Amino acid sequence: MSLVLAYLAVLGAFAARWLAQQHLADRPWLTVGSPHPLVAPAAITAPTRLGLGIFLASAGLLFSLLVAAYAMRVPGTALVPLDPRLLWLTTFLLAGASLALHGAHAAARRGREEQATAALGFASAAGLGFLGGQAFAWQALWQAGLVQGPDAAVAFFCLITALHGLHILAGLVALAWITARAALLPRPPRLEPGTALCTLYWDALLAVWLVLFGLLFRTPWSGLIDALCRPG
Amino acid sequence: MSDAITGPQGGSPLLPEADDLYHPHSWWTRYVFSQDAKVIAIQYAGTALAIGFVALILSWLIRLQLGFPGLATFIGPAEYYQLITMHGMIMVVYLLTAVFLGGFGNYLIPLMLGARDMVFPYLNMLSYWIYLLAVLVLVASFFAPGGPTGAGWTLYPPQAILAGTPGQEWGIVLMLVSLILFIAGFTMGGVNYVVTVLQARAPGMTLMRMPLTVWGIFTATVLALLAFPALLVGAVMMLLDRLLGTSFFMPAIIEAGQRLRYGGGSPILFQHLFWFFGHPEVYIVALPAFGIVSDLISTHARKNIFGYRMMVWAIVAIGVLSFVVWAHHMYVSGMNPYFGFFFATTTLIIAIPTAIKVYNWVLTLWRGDIHLTVPMLFAIAFIVTFLNGGLTGLFLGNVVVDVPLSDTMFVVAHFHMVMGVAPILVIFGGLYHWYPKVTGRMLDARLGQVHFWITFLGAYAIFFPMHYLGLLGVPRRYYETAGLGFVPPSAETLNAFISLVAFVVGAAQIVFLFNLLHSLRHGAPAGGNPWRATTLEWQTPETPPSHGNWGPALPIVYRWPYDYSVPGAPEDFVPQNQPAPIRAGAVP
């Protein structure tokens, strides 16, 4: 559970930093009158971005718990009987989707909507490719009869990648939604807010995937993840 | 500068003008698929109370079996396990969590903060409908082949999914699916509550001017967003163990001479995941109750809350600590003794902020102008009940005391006092308090008194003796105790007494239900602010508040929410949105 506690500690640090700015030591019974200037509490972050951030924090804990459960249940030497090159390919596809989204966001910010739409299309294709690769891996494990057995590494691989894949699928729906609106509506809304949210979402899912990939397979950063998940 | 923000120049993009809100166009979108937080709150609370009444009937049947074994021939051991499982899960998750966050949260957050609605109204609506679906899936398990699961509300594997446990075929699957749906629905609502508190407060509503009710609901929502993922992970993994034959939690098992396909799984892993959710869940329920009770006491004692800052800090501290105590539910599961020491210590440390809150409530009452209204009766009853339940928590938090008491009726008595009766008392208090705002009519006070006294005294007559049964060694989750050498016959007499009282207390809830429905039409008109309260929800231009809550102009907040019995004020309270100084020179 050390990774979970570390994750909670990071969230706690953010919360503590925020709380420290909220004047919690004020004596509200002594101050009467409007704070100046007479406006609502400063909204630095757009509500949709804040909402997405809160959702991602919650989803991040979900994956941290899965990683902790993996570390408790699966021996460090266990490996999933899959060719890691397939997973490297899907990893590159996911990273490509994330990069394309950054491109789309940059183009949308400069008002180049067509360029942004093309980048969104590329990101969607890369995301679909990622899911296709994962599905191929699941099928290989299913056909080998490994999913239904007591092999914990395989079961965790399927569970973790399926939950991650569901989040990717939701991201693809969001991408399709903003792309379709841009393409079909007679007076389409600006792409910039939507691409900003998608970029944040996909970056977070890429980060989660890199941790999961390092946990499930031998990668250059697996040692770091092992050190976090299996202290001692 | 104008006092009212009426135009886009003075407003915030997060505080939409009335015209910017989504407006319902039909009866369906106004009352059924509504995006108005007030309607969603009523839907949440109505559904939760309805399923809560089902759980109440289940508790009657449990008590029928325990008090008068053999009388109800339709209750066998399997049915008994199904009854206790469904009673527990419904009460904890589908009633308490849903009422406090979905019901009170939806109604009070926007109104108390001076917002027009939640920040994401559509998501809010979706949250309710997914919750309803979760409830329906749960109810469906009563009608599924084999009935609902009888695994106990903790759903511990391996027995939860093995043959021999009632509901092993369909019941457990439907329960897990329902929980997954509940969590998905809650997450949508939870994100909404947090963002609304952070970004949609009225001008002048600093965090330290928020009523403690909002502080409680806000912190509980943050806890829930961090706790429910653990239950989700556990539920999905168990579902896969049950349906696909994986072995996340299932060790090697020989059943009827045959080795099952499972092997190598860890039941303890499930316990960790379950209680990583389960303990914060106690505070997901308790923190909103703490907040609500603070507001009820302050309003009905006509006195500012004692130690507001301490109350806020204590809520936050309890929220943080609640994540490092989960393994105190697992002392008898076997653990490194140092871990037991650690978790016992953190558990006992929680007593400090909790005790601060209890002292502050008592000091708020001290020399207050106490009005023994029905909400106030429930609030005071909460304090003593929570104190009682909390004190037995100190017993169980210690490893050496917990081990002999574990799995006895003492534990049942403890958690029913602290997170069963105590929060329910607050729910009743809150409903009596805010019903006039929701409907425009008062609940009948005489019926309310009858309801209160039977519920309060009855709950003590039920659960006080149960502690004694636990100390005698009467085990929990036993279908019957007759013939057990270590249970004296007097325990059975006491069980019969407890059951009789439980029937009466259950029946008293019908009085409440009648009051709730009868007062809709026949209650005395409430007016806008019948309790002469300071918080914003009582200052709406209309009662019940209309769509958008505030008419053309949003309120502006000038003071904290507890200005009661202010010297020199024309009345004994000053609403949060009252700008004028109370008297010349008296206000900074």
What whole-number distance in Å separates Cα of residue A60 and Cα of residue A71?
A: 17
Q: Measured in whole angstroms, how far is the alpha carbon of residue A109 from the centre of its chain?
A: 22
Q: In 3D, which of B276, B262, B268 has the Cα closest to residue B228?
A: B276
Do A28 and B209 count as a contact with CB atoms less than 8 A apart? yes
What whole-number distance in Å separates Cα of residue B52 and Cα of residue B49?
A: 5
What whole-number distance in Å separates Cα of residue B288 and Cα of residue B100?
A: 6
What whole-number distance in Å separates Cα of residue B566 and Cα of residue B583?
A: 10
pLDDT at A99 (0 to 100): 97
* Long-range contacts from B517-523, C-beta under 8 angstroms, 24+ separation: B518/B444, B519/B435, B519/B439, B519/B441, B519/B442, B519/B443, B519/B444, B520/B439, B520/B441, B521/B441, B522/B441, B523/B439, B523/B441, B523/B442, B523/B443, B523/B444
Do A150 and B192 count as a contact with CB atoms less than 8 A apart? no
Mutant choice from A23, A34, A36 vs B, greatest count of B C-beta within 10 A: A34
Residue type present at position A210? L
- With beta carbons less than 8 A apart as the criterion, state whether B23 and B33 touch: no
B562 within some domain:
no
Residues in chain B where the model's pLDDT stays below 50:
1-15, 584-588
Question: From the CA of B274, how many Å to the nearest CA of chain A?
Answer: 11
Q: Identify the helix (H) or strand (E) that includes residue B185.
A: helix B171-199
Task: State the average pLDDT over residues A151-168.
Answer: 93
What lies within 8 Å, CB to CB, of B478 at 6+ separation is B484
What lies within 8 Å, CB to CB, of A54 at 6+ separation is B190, B191, B194, B195, B225
Any bridge partners for residue B408, and if so which?
B475
What lies within 8 Å, CB to CB, of B113 at 6+ separation is B196, B197, B200, B201, B202, B205, B210, B214, B536
What whole-number distance in Å separates Cα of residue B120 and Cα of residue B543?
A: 24
| ipTM over cut 0.90 | yes
Do A150 and B240 count as a contact with CB atoms less than 8 A apart? no
Residue type present at position B466? M
Any bridge partners for residue B525, and if so which?
B441
What whole-number distance in Å separates Cα of residue B492 and Cα of residue B482?
A: 8
Do B587 and A149 count as a contact with CB atoms less than 8 A apart? no
What whole-number distance in Å separates Cα of residue B461 and Cα of residue B342?
A: 35
B5 within some domain:
no
A17 token code pair:
């930093």
Contacts of B202 in chain A (CB under 8 A): 40
Residue type present at position A166? L
Residue A175: phi and psi, rounded to 5, are: -60, -45
What whole-number distance in Å separates Cα of residue A34 and Cα of residue B242?
A: 59
pLDDT tier at A35 (50, 70, 90 boundaries)? low
DSSP-derived 3-state class of residue B307:
coil
Question: From the CA of B210, how many Å to the nearest CA of chain A?
Answer: 10
Question: From the CA of B443, how many Å to the nearest CA of chain A?
Answer: 32
B54 token code pair:
């089902």
Q: Which of B201, B248, B562 sits opposite A155 (nearest CB)?
A: B248
Any bridge partners for residue B254, and if so which?
B259
Q: In 3D, which of A130, A127, A107 has the Cα closest to residue A117?
A: A107
DSSP-H helix ranges across B244-336: 267-300, 308-321
Do B236 and A159 count as a contact with CB atoms less than 8 A apart? yes
Q: Which of B15, B269, B587 sits opposite A69 (nearest CB)?
A: B269
**How confident is the prediction for chain A on average, in pLDDT?**
88
Any bridge partners for residue B93, and if so which?
none
B231 token code pair:
């239950």
Contacts of A1 in chain B (CB under 8 A): 272, 276
Question: From the CA of A13, how many Å to the nearest CA of chain B?
Answer: 11
Q: Which of A40, A45, A59 sits opposite B201 (nearest CB)?
A: A40
Mutant choice from B6, B119, B233 vs A, greatest count of A C-beta within 10 A: B233
Q: Identify the helix (H) or strand (E) that includes residue B254.
A: strand B254-255
- With beta carbons less than 8 A apart as the criterion, state whether B580 and B559 touch: no
What whole-number distance in Å separates Cα of residue B398 and Cα of residue B296?
A: 33
DSSP string, B131-158: HHHHHHHHHHHHHSTT-S--STTTT-TT
Q: Dump pLDDT digits (tens) for A86-135.
A: 999 999 999 999 999 999 999 999 988 889 999 999 999 999 999 999 99
Q: Dump pLDDT digits (tens) for A184-207.
A: 877 777 888 899 999 999 999 999
Question: From the CA of A170, how many Å to the nearest CA of chain B?
Answer: 13
**CA nearest to A36 within chain B:** B204
Do A38 and B10 count as a contact with CB atoms less than 8 A apart? yes
**CA nearest to B6 within chain A:** A39
Task: Tell me the fold of A2-8+46-229.
Answer: Four Helix Bundle (Hemerythrin (Met), subunit A) (1.20.120)
Q: Which of B233, B263, B304 sits opposite A69 (nearest CB)?
A: B233
pLDDT at B451 (0 to 100): 98
Do A47 and B14 count as a contact with CB atoms less than 8 A apart? yes
Any bridge partners for residue B255, and if so which?
B258
Q: In 3D, which of B180, B220, B181 has the Cα closest to residue B323?
A: B220
Contacts of A58 in chain B (CB under 8 A): 187, 190-191, 225-226, 228-229
Contacts of B265 in chain A (CB under 8 A): 73, 150, 152
Mutant choice from B6, B17, B196, B199 vs A, greatest count of A C-beta within 10 A: B199
B141 within some domain:
yes
What whole-number distance in Å separates Cα of residue A4 and Cα of residue B336?
A: 19
What whole-number distance in Å separates Cα of residue A213 and Cα of residue A199?
A: 20
B302 within some domain:
yes
DSSP-derived 3-state class of residue A97:
helix
Do B199 and A1 count as a contact with CB atoms less than 8 A apart? no
Q: Which of A8, A25, A54 sits opposite B194 (nearest CB)?
A: A54
What lies within 8 Å, CB to CB, of B45 at 6+ separation is B98, B99, B102, B103, B104, B107, B431
- Cβ atoms within 10 Å of A180's Cβ, excluding its own: 11
Q: How many CA atoms lie within 13 A of A28 on its CB side?
A: 31
Query: How far is it between the farthest Cα atoms of chain B?
Result: 88
Total number of domains in chain B: 1
DSSP-derived 3-state class of residue B444:
coil
Please say whether the dihedral angle defined by the alpha carbons of residues B361, B365, B370 and B372, taken in this order, is positive or negative: positive
Query: Is residue A23 pLDDT above 60, yes or no?
Result: yes
Contacts of A22 in chain B (CB under 8 A): 206-208
Q: Identify the helix (H) or strand (E) that includes residue B259.
A: strand B258-259
Query: Is residue A220 pLDDT above 70, yes or no?
Result: yes
- With beta carbons less than 8 A apart as the criterion, state whether A216 and A157 touch: yes
Structural domain of residue B274, as residue ranges? 35-250+263-539
Do A24 and B205 count as a contact with CB atoms less than 8 A apart? no
Mutant choice from A38, A44, A138 vs B, greatest count of B C-beta within 10 A: A38
Angle at B103 between CA A41 and CA B239, to 5 degrees: 105
- With beta carbons less than 8 A apart as the criterion, state whether B362 and B383 touch: yes
Do A40 and B14 count as a contact with CB atoms less than 8 A apart? yes
pLDDT at B422 (0 to 100): 97
DSSP-derived 3-state class of residue A40:
coil
Any bridge partners for residue B554, and if so which?
B5
Residue A118: phi and psi, rounded to 5, are: -65, -45
pLDDT at A232 (0 to 100): 57
Do B262 and A150 count as a contact with CB atoms less than 8 A apart? yes
pLDDT at B7 (0 to 100): 33
CATH number at residue B291: 1.20.210.10
Residue B530: phi and psi, rounded to 5, are: -65, -25
B323 within some domain:
yes
- With beta carbons less than 8 A apart as the criterion, state whether A119 and A99 touch: no
What lies within 8 Å, CB to CB, of B457 at 6+ separation is none
